[in-house]
Amino acid sequence: MRVLITGAAGFLGSHLAERLLKEGHEVLGVDNLATGQRRNLERLGRYSGFTFLQADVRYPLEVEGPLDWVFHLASPASPPRYLRLPLETLLVNAEGTRHLLDLSLAKGANFFLASTSEVYGDPLVHPQPETYWGNVNPIGPRSIYDESKRYAEALSVAYHRVHGLSIRIARIFNTYGPFMDPEDGRVVSSFIVQALKGEPLTVYGDGSQTRSFCYVDDLVEGFFRLMEVGYPYPVNLGNPEEYRVLDLAHLVRELTGSSSPIVFRPLPEDDPKQRRPDISLAKRLLGWEPKVPVREGLERTVLYFREVVDHIV
């Protein structure tokens, strides 16, 4: 196959691209490098089937040759990044999605949207099934990401209904693993970097808020299984095992051998208190569930960060 991946220099995009390349497919990676990492492109550049196009999907893309799949993974995804790039985030998920849907139509390609558990906002239903409509503040600080992803889902489904376009939508819950950006501000990378550098681990609120952490290889496997079914509506992909943020901080300290203290800061506005996927649909439709335990996945992730943390200023 020939596959286009936006956000190919990012954490998830580079993992997806590498698996496709290892299986012998051709990958055209697209990224504007606003938040993507050049080290990920260097890793992908070792494969003969990889080509890179530096471009911004807020504007229409011109791509020569056939395409079998268009994966839209481009978007700042961590709160510090999308709060720094609010208009860019809104537009890459709105106009960017429209341009890539149009490209998929023109090429006769399947379209795959990387959506997010953030569409559930600060959920009042726990765990969250795909049938839950969410509890999102439409003008809160996180709405630039939450609402633009909700719009991207609506637009994708509209293209399916109006044009018959083959689409897939993955609602991704917290994912971690090697090749995360050490400076992206997400809780796993932040805790590991702080622990390895001997800095205090920053917990927001009292640490009782929960998250569900899925190892990246499990998530990519979920992508591949979703590709194989003709289901055009959202599917949760994440780990149903729930962790308190404070417990994660203690586990990271243990795995890194760090004596860093834990400090507490005020909880950011609209920060969800609980986040856990109901993956009943993924189990039934895809025969998928995560295989890598959090402790094992974190051990692999810490090994990667030990190699790169010395280069962080």
Q: Which CATH architecture has domain 2-175+214-237?
A: 3-Layer(aba) Sandwich (3.40)
pLDDT tops 80 at residue 271: no
> What is the chain's length?
313
**pLDDT value at 313 more than 70:** no
**For the domain 177-211+241-275+292-311, what is the CATH code?**
3.90.25.10
User: Which pLDDT value is given to residue 184?
Assistant: 86
Element (H, E) at 304: helix 294-308
Read off the pLDDT of residues 149-176 as tens digits, 9 standing for 90 and up. 999 999 999 999 999 999 999 999 999 9
Token representation of residue 95: 């106009």
| pLDDT at 185 (0 to 100) | 85
Cis peptide before 79 (omega within 30 of 0): no
Query: Does position 309 have pLDDT exceeding 70, yes or no?
Result: yes
Give dist(CA 217, CA 106) in Å, integer.
Answer: 31
Residue percentage of the chain with pLDDT more than 70: 99
Handedness of CA 95, 11, 277, 189 (dihedral sign): negative
pLDDT of residue 311: 63
Q: What is the pTM of this model?
A: 0.95
Asked, colleague to colleague, whether 2-175+214-237 and 177-211+241-275+292-311 share their fold, the answer is no
Average pLDDT of span 175-198: 93
**Catalytic hit among 47, 59, 120, 145:** 145
> Residue 312: which pLDDT band, with cuts at 50, 70 and 90?
low
Q: Domain ranges for the chain, please list them.
A: 2-175+214-237, 177-211+241-275+292-311
Please state the rounded mean pLDDT for residues 59-65.
Answer: 96
Give CA separation, 159 vs 101, 132, 254, 290, in Å.
7, 22, 48, 30
Distance CA 62, CA 50 (A): 17
Residue 159 is among the residues annotated as catalytic for this protein: no
H-helix or E-strand spanning residue 20: helix 11-22
State the pLDDT confidence band at 245, using cuts at 50, 70 and 90.
very high
